[in-house]
Amino acid sequence: MKVLIVLTSHDTLGDTGKKTGFWLEELAGPYYVFKDAGAEITLASPKGGQPPLDPKSDEPMFQTDLTRRFSADELAKAQLGETVRLDSIDQKDFDTVFYPGGHGPLWDLAEDPNSIRLIESFAAASKPVGLVCHAPGVLRHVTNPDGTPFVQGRYVTGFTNAEEAAVGLTKVVPFLVEDELIKLGAVFSRVKDWGVHTVVDGRLVTGQNPGSSVEAAEALMAAVSLVKTRAA
């Protein structure tokens, strides 16, 4: 199984003067779900090379067994430092794609034409797509072949308005994930703030927040296995 993980290249948190990027738990947890299942993993980002880590996600209170495993994994860190440029990626080389969150994707991946086309190509090929936390926001410009929003009528979740308010960034982010998905016609569901919540709608898998990242990755693996079984 070949898995593509797409990370942000954006490191500036609006005009706050603070840094952002990808959220470590949302990479590390899924990375080992895929790796421990024997998958071949490719990491990509818009600019290639080392993607920016949200420094807050590496603080002690946000660390998990899997983030600590990643931080001690020299091969994983080396791979992270050499992400492939997104514009060089071909959907045909992979079975699925996963997008970790962090606030960074709201600025670059949500507007990146290469990312938009990539997701559309995975959908057209009936390959599962997974996104967690802020990453479902990168679906905002993704469309179906008839031009309608990809998420229209689909069951999804993502970082909620309440969770964004809890971290004090409602007025900083370019858009609110929950509001944007609902505006596009998605059927958005949520649980309590920071609760684990994953939604599977056919070949689309979304997770609500960092704590949902492992569950979302496991659901994505199950979706890939189902596709392969049906194709056999």
- Reduce the secondary structure of 175-231 to three states and give it as a string: CCHHHHHHHCCCEECCCCCCCCCEEEECCEEEECCHHHHHHHHHHHHHHHHHHHHHH
Residue 14 backbone class (left: φ over 0; alpha: ψ -120 to 50; beta: rest): left
**pLDDT value at residue 227:** 84
**Beta-bridge partners for 130:** 98, 205
**pLDDT value at residue 228:** 80
Q: How far is residue 105 from each of residues 8, 32, 122, measured CA to CA in Å?
A: 5, 21, 19
Would the pTM of this model clear 0.85, i.e. be above it?
yes
Q: How many whole angstroms separate alpha carbon 29 and alpha carbon 227?
A: 23
Residue 159: pLDDT over 90? yes
Q: Tokens 């926001």 appear where?
A: 137
- Residue 10: name the closest of 135, 81, 106 by CA: 106
**Cβ proximity of 104 and 8 under 8 Å:** yes
Q: What are 22-43's pLDDT values in tens digits?
A: 999 999 999 999 999 999 999 9
Residue 158: pLDDT over 80? yes
Q: What are 60-117's pLDDT values in tens digits?
A: 999 999 999 999 999 999 999 999 999 999 999 999 999 999 999 999 999 999 999 9
Q: How many whole angstroms separate alpha carbon 67 and alpha carbon 30?
A: 10
Instruction: Calculate the CA 138 to chain-centre distance.
Output: 8
